[in-house]
A and B are shown apart, each in its own frame.
Chain A
Amino acid sequence: MQYEMVAGFETHVELATNTKIFCSCTTQFGGDPNTHCCPICIGLPGVLPKLNRAVVQYAIRAGLATNCHIANISKMDRKNYCYPDLPKAYQISQYDKPLCENGYVQLSNGRRIRLNRIHIEEDAGKLIHKRGDTYIDYNRGGVPLIEIVSEPDIRSVEEAKEYVEKLQQIMRYIGVSDCRMQEGSMRCDVNVSVRPVGSDKLGTRTEIKNMNSITFIGKAMEYEFNRQVELIESGGEVEQQTLRYNDSENTTSPMRGKEDANDYRYFRDPDLVTISVSDEEIDELRKTIPELHFEKVERYVGQFSLSEKDASNIAKYRRIAEFFEQASDGVKNPKTVANFIIGQIFRRLETEDDKESFDIKTTAAQLRELVKLIDDGKIRNNLAKSTLEQMLDTGKPASEFISESDMAGLDESALEGLCRKAVESNPKAVEDFKKGKQKAVKSLVGFVMKESRGKADAAAAEQLIISIIG
């Protein structure tokens, strides 16, 4: 029998606010253990949590960017469980009145992954297990999270990867999170079940907890899919379980058994008052949502005739996209700008983080000036390329490296003179060309380019040389 994968995601994203969700401690990553703490985030009795306004705004923006309906009235609830990462023995979260509901993320194949909800909650502390003892650092405790809950609409590992990447891009674009999976600021719980192709019933699902790498998500889902299919094929039944993925062995194993079935006894947090957001406030926040990655790709392809791949590579990083748009403003061919970015500038930005932070010396205006020199026929591409390297090294404008004489170009008689010189100085190449070796002319053109220090028009030189030889 043929089976299909059915998967849904619960994605935790740490918000990039300055302070924690209920107190004014910093959210900065790292820091010595237990130095970003106060009585509120270590859960001492008698304290009064107070909701960070920015958390509500960030979460609403996340909702708007993923096509959610924003609730005018929402509230905070207590989710009770006893575990040392949670000093109050409850997590403040949202239960039946989340901030955002009924959104979707659209994949490149046109399918929409529906979002059931996005709610806000506090992160737990970090537990470090050493020699059987548990060390607790509450710096992360109280850092604001949004939990993005999808419907089980994902049908393959490829869709899952694209979904996670897309969420990552959206959240980075709107600036609500850096979504660094390796630092834990984005983590996924993946629900996987299988069913015979054509069936519309949902199978029993298992939940793989706390995945923090897209590669491992793919591997874990594949493993889990195969495990469940084999189980069913051999007459067994899938047990509803919470699993841990072991990346060194590429397997999943149960985390907690049935006897620990969750019973969170949610109730409204009496310390926190109702969150009320007016339609006007929502509209104001809507105005802050920038054009998103995939919208930019469409525009770059349509308006600037970039290839889909180039457009995507540039639009993927918000800062690079902004740089590209500024540098292309008013130039004849934005493709030239794109080529400089992807060809030369990317070579200096090795990692994803480098590209994300996009820390280069050259400004968009400087690149635009350089490209305009090409547009105006004042310099050739080769010279522009070497000039750009110098600009990137120093942060100085093109005019520092290109002299007036460079920009003058070559007049026709000078070009003809150089072409004749090329033919006279390279009898072997001329001979080869006459024998029918078309390529030989290239070395003659190369001679001209070198003699003119890149100023000659290569195409014109080639024609001229052919006519001289001919």
Chain B
Amino acid sequence: MVTREDVINIARLSKLYIAEEELDEMTKAMGDIIKFADTINVASEQGVEEFDNINNLKNAFREDVVVPSYERDEILKNANDIDEGHFLVRKRV
């Protein structure tokens, strides 16, 4: 069961703002999503070999060789605010 408190807590952890009047709807929606996901429990595990991930891939490694990084201007392109080559988060009043 998903409670209103769960929703409030998850919203807080995710830094999302949810208005008081949205809470009931949100709680029901999240409950539905989890119920849907839970249908997997209906399936029988008998005779099914345990697998670790869906495509059963293993060891996709990269060798430890340096490739030049991006130009800083490219890296900072998405930043809202920039100063002295840094991403800048302004003080919130």
On whether the two chains bind one another, the answer is yes
Indicate if A313 sits at the interface (CB-CB under 8 A): no
Q: Residue of B at shortest CB range from A135?
A: B86
Q: Which residues of A contact B69 (CB under 8 A)?
A: 25-26, 35-38
Q: Is the CB of B88 within 8 A of A133?
A: yes
Q: Tell me which residues across on chain B come within 8 A of A75, comparing CB atoms.
A: 52-53
| Contact partners of A231 in chain B: CB under 8 A | none
A90 to B55, CA, bound (A): 23
Among residues 34 to 65 in chain B, which have CB atoms less than 8 Å away from a CB atom of chain A? 52-53, 55-65
Give the shortest distance, in Å, between A130 (CB) and chain B (any CB).
9
A84, closest chain B residue (CB)? B89
Complex Cα gap A353–B33 (Å): 57
Structural contact, B84 and A135, CB atoms closer than 8 A: yes
- Docked pose: A82 CA to B10 CA in angstroms: 12
Residues in A with CB closer than 8 Å to B53 are: 75, 268, 270, 273-274
User: Is there an interface contact between B64 and A18, defined as CB atoms closer than 8 Å?
Assistant: yes
- The answer to whether B85 touches A33 (Cβ under 8 A) is yes
Contact status of A136 and B88, CB under 8 A, knowing A19-B64, A19-B66: yes
A interface: dominant SS: loop
- A116-136 vs B, CB cutoff 8 Å, 1 = contact: the mask equals 000000000000100111111
* Inter-chain contact B86/A137, CB cutoff 8 Å: yes
Q: A137 to chain B: closest CB distance in Å?
A: 6
Contact A52:B64 (CB < 8 A) given known A34-B76, A80-B13, A137-B86:
yes
Question: Complex Cα distance A42/B63, Å?
Answer: 20
Q: List residues of chain B with CB within 8 A of the CB of A80.
A: 13
Contact in complex: B64, A42 (CB < 8 Å): no
Say whether, besides A273-B59, A276-B58, A133 and B91 are in contact (CB < 8 Å): yes
- State the Cβ distance, B67 to closest chain A Cβ, in Å: 4
A53:B62 contact, CB within 8 angstroms: yes
- Please, what's the 1-or-0 string for B74-89, where 1 marks a CB less than 8 Å from any CB in chain A? 0110100001111111
Q: Is the CB of B86 within 8 A of A273?
A: no
Q: Select the residue from B59, B67, B86, B91 with max chain A CB neighbours within 10 A.
A: B86
Q: Is the CB of B89 within 8 A of A274?
A: no
Provide 16 A-B residue pairs closer than 8 Å at the C-beta atoms, listed in order of the A residue: A24-B62, A24-B67, A34-B87, A37-B70, A38-B70, A53-B61, A53-B64, A54-B64, A75-B52, A82-B14, A82-B15, A133-B88, A133-B90, A135-B83, A136-B89, A137-B85
Residues of B within 8 A of A (CB): 9, 13-15, 52-53, 55-67, 69-70, 72, 75-76, 78, 83-91
Nearest 5 CB-CB pairings of A with B: A132-B91, A24-B67, A54-B64, A53-B61, A135-B86
